[in-house]
Structure 1
């Protein structure tokens, strides 16, 4: 009988489905992963994960094959939240996806970003190009990007321009066939009724954030 390769970690001698279950138990935490930059001029992306265990990602550094297999679980099983609420968010998004690489970017399934009122094409084009498995997209409406969307800032004369913006955003989603769920979360509002009706007409879910 041939003895097992002593250089091979024991976990790799287990069936793949068993390894995948181990990856889930070790790597998946209940809270979202919050991404932020050290400063607007910085390309360095930091991750804040509430409740993460000590040595949380040690498994990824054990072996190249383990890193490859476990990365699919890490990036595919968490919701990633862009903390930046400024117009620099597209830069943060690009820096994050550059950092993790195209293969891992293709595993990302759930992402939270600002509602793209300022640059509806920039962030969406990055996601369309990099995140081929993205299924759920949450869009934050807050006090810095709510102009024209919430009741307190709504002007009926601007309805057509708002409609045009929403049509443009929805067209970006339509160009990403993997996206199945679009959730608009309000942290500054409520939405003007006409705006809410337009969003729901696209099949988006609208709710108050907590």
Structure 2
């Protein structure tokens, strides 16, 4: 598996794979530091932005790992040039890339917490795009209620990812199988659920766009139409 690991990758106290800045490059960065901040940011983005999402997963309880398809060799080496560049460029890395959790509820929120705690509050607040599972709604027709782990997920994103602009929600058979059911009673319940979730999402004031991606089945037209009515973007 093509993991973002090298001899410069270490683990911090939270157990998240991260780069260890090299002190040997400190003296070589003085000329680069004279470049305008905007130009430096453009350079960081050209080097650190990858074409596909960065997928996060956990095979052990104490380490969050990452997989980035088609990443250039040593694409994050820039972060190890100096402490100054690491401080400035790491924010660009988290701001310009898409992050996706390879875990499903209820373990998903555990992975999210470990990842965000590991990268620290500054990097967490730089993340602009996150992909997580669609919130799981408990089957209570008389009272729509988001399951505890899904509610916690939204709360963590609101608290720690203060720069989050786009939230992509993935629909799959294990969390929203009834979204693809052709049943009038089920459809009405789903529409009620969507409006309830929309209120929760609007509570995360930084979010500008909600995207919906379906991994299994096809959404009923009335459901996808209601999602668009709420302002959500339904991805192909």
For the superposition of Structure 1 and Structure 2, which TM-score range results when normalised by the shorter chain?
0.7 to 0.9
Report how far residue 8 of structure 1 moved.
5.8
- Distance across 1 between alignment mates of 2:62 and 2:223: 35
Secondary structure of 2:70's aligned partner: coil
Against the structure 1 CA distance between its residues 146 and 66, is the aligned structure 2 distance closer, same or farther, given a 3 Å change threshold?
Answer: same
- Aligned match of 1:38 in 59, 81, 84? 59
Q: Is the 8 A contact 1:117 1:165 kept in 2?
A: no
Structure 1 pair 164/43, CA: closer, same or farther in 2 (3 Å)?
farther
For structure 2, the residue ranges without an aligned partner over 5 or more in a row are: 1-25, 138-146
Change (3 A) 1:95 1:49: same
Displacement of 1:103 in angstroms is 0.7
Q: Does structure 1 residue 127 correspond to structure 2 residue 157?
A: yes
Alignment TM-score, normalising by the size of structure 2: 0.76
Determine if the alignment matches structure 1 residue 82 to structure 2 residue 106.
no
Q: Which residue does 1:3 correspond to in 2?
A: none
Query: Deviations 1:80-137 (Å, cap 9, x if unpaired)?
Result: 1111134211111111111111111111111111111153411111110011111111
Paired with 1:20 and 1:197, the residues of 2 have a C-alpha distance of: 39
Aligned pairs for 1:102-141 (under 5 A) are 102-117=121-136, 119=147, 120-141=150-171
Give the distance between the partners of 1:54 and 1:111, measured in 2 at CA. 24
Aligned to 1:177: 205
TM-superposed CA distance for 1:164, in Å, is 4.2
Query: In 1, distance between residues paired with 2:188 and 2:155?
Result: 24
Structure 1: unaligned runs, 5 residues or longer: 1-5
C-alpha distance in 2 between matches for 1:207 and 1:108: 21
- Pairwise mapping of residues 61-76 of structure 1 onto structure 2 (< 5 A)? 61-76=80-95
CA distance in 1, matches of 2:38, 2:160: 27
Question: How many aligned positions are there?
Answer: 199
TM-score normalised over the length of structure 1: 0.85
Alignment of 1:94-105 (within 5 A): 94-105=113-124
Task: Name the SS for the 1:146 alignment partner.
Answer: helix
